[in-house]
Amino acid sequence: MSTVPKSAVPKSAPPRSADPSASAILPTYARAPVAFERGEGSWLVTAEGERYLDFGAGIAVNSLGHGHPHLVGALTAQAAKLWHTSNLFGQPDGERLARRLADASFADLVFFCNSGAEALEAAIKTTRKYHAAGGHPERYRIVTFEGAFHGRTLATIAAGGQKKYLDGFGPKVDGFDQVPFGDLKALEAAIGPETAGILIEPIQGEGGLRATPPGFLRALRALCDRHGLLLVLDEVQTGVGRTGRLFAHEREGIVPDVMALAKGLGGGFPVGACLATREAARGMTAGVHGTTFGGNPLAMAVANAVLDVVLADGFVEGVARKGALLAQRLAELKDTHPRVIEEVRGEGLLAGLKLRPPVADFAAAARDARLVVIPAGDNVARLLPPLTVSEDELAEGVRRLDAACRAIEAALPAGAAA
Ligand SMILES: *Cc1c(COP(=O)(O)O)cnc(C)c1O
């Protein structure tokens, strides 16, 4: 018995494209001409069996590498039990994850969602609602920084303030005032009676691994306290161990009021989180915000499994140790290839090379050497291996970076100045 209504079956579908091999995916990404079929730890493997060393980790997402047995076990066990019930019911694994995140951070409360941009949306709404709940709905503006990246929703492109992401999408969402990165004077001048908070990445990820100057986060904390603002950190890329600390802001011994997480939290399963103090979240009561999929049992099971590994004794310290080793090797590489590498940046396993030749050329040369790196702004190639990468794999990655540098140099005009 057919259940397909006749009207749903087209009699003769018109040809959609002159080229039957043309992609039906909306072309919003310039994709590298390679696809992977499976992954094993720090390695990606194509259908043809070619092995690439993965220093991209899906843009700092696959924090425990590919096919980690503890994550595979958690996901498959949960897949056999329960996938989704909605937030209209209790979520025991979500309760547990929220408690663990709160215990490991400044936060009292956690909102779960599915991506970084959604975590930022929740953070922005929490910040505005905090002032509204305190009787000051006019305080809704948030100061952000040039070069920032907070996601691709309408509010988060306004927060990021980058022309290339705003162009053509109509009026920019109101309520974001942007100042130069690291400029305390400009920041103070931007604070007015409508300011609600300050939003910043402790290290700009997409912006090219630009770190806040030493003491800057402490200065922001003091400014927020003085003006009654919320300090909102975007640790979507820097969080969950990536910089050799559980959260990058720990470097300055400060705490934010609100913090967005995503990327590494799910180890490859989509999950985001907005963490806040009870005070900062005072406006976020029943019904004011929501999500259908956020905090679903699959995401909660996997993120709890990620924390089992990342919160284990010595794991984050191990990331710091491997990060220091990588930084040292990269400094040597820069000395060997001054015509290619201008500067080594980053912290922990959020490392990067500021390049002289175009980063796209370097990424292609690295790919030829079977190494995945991730281009960022400011002509930087990001090196983001899984946090579980071995010291041997780090050394192998640096050998492949050296090969990429040599290939680039061979193509430079002879005698070109460093
Ligand atoms: C990736 C990223 C986002 C956006 O995350 P999505 O999951 O792509 O929405 C926001 N902020 C920072 C710092 C990021 O690196």
- Protein residue with least CA distance to atom 10, ligand 1: 150
| Residue 315 annotated in active site | no
For the entire predicted model, the pTM comes to 0.95
pLDDT of residue 268: 98
pLDDT of residue 418: 47
Q: Which of 124, 150, 259 to mutate to test the pocket of ligand 1 (most atoms within 8 A of CB)?
A: 150
Domain boundaries, the chain: 38-60+319-411, 69-310
Q: Name the architecture of domain 69-310.
A: 3-Layer(aba) Sandwich (3.40)
Ligand 1 binding pocket (C-beta < 6 A) is 115-117, 120, 149-151, 201, 205-206, 234, 236-237, 262-263
- Taking the CA of residue 234 as reference, the ligand 1 atom at the shortest distance is 13
- Taking the CA of residue 116 as reference, the ligand 1 atom at the shortest distance is 5
Which is the catalytic residue, given 129, 234, 247, 269? Answer: 234
Catalogue the long-range contacts made by 397-403 (C-beta closer than 8 Å, 24 or more residues apart). 397/53, 397/55, 397/371, 398/326, 398/329, 398/330, 398/333, 400/53, 400/366, 400/369, 400/370, 400/371, 401/330, 401/333, 401/353, 401/366, 401/369, 401/371, 401/373, 402/333, 402/336, 402/337, 403/365, 403/369
- Protein residue with least CA distance to atom 6, ligand 1: 116
Q: Which residues of the chain have pLDDT under 70?
A: 1-18, 415-418
Cα 150 to middle of ligand 1, angstroms: 5
Exposure string over 211-224, b if 16+ CB within 10 A, otherwise e? bbeeebbebbbebb
| Residue 129 annotated in active site | no
Can you name the CATH fold of 38-60+319-411?
Aspartate Aminotransferase, domain 1 (3.90.1150)
CB 386 within 8 A of CB 64: yes
Per residue in 58-70, pLDDT tens?
999 999 999 999 9
| Residue 149 annotated in active site | yes
38-60+319-411 and 69-310 agree in CATH topology: no
Cα 49 to middle of ligand 1, angstroms: 31
Vertex 219, ends 217 and 220: CA angle to 5°? 60
How does the average pLDDT of the chain come out, rounded? 95
Number of residues in the chain: 418
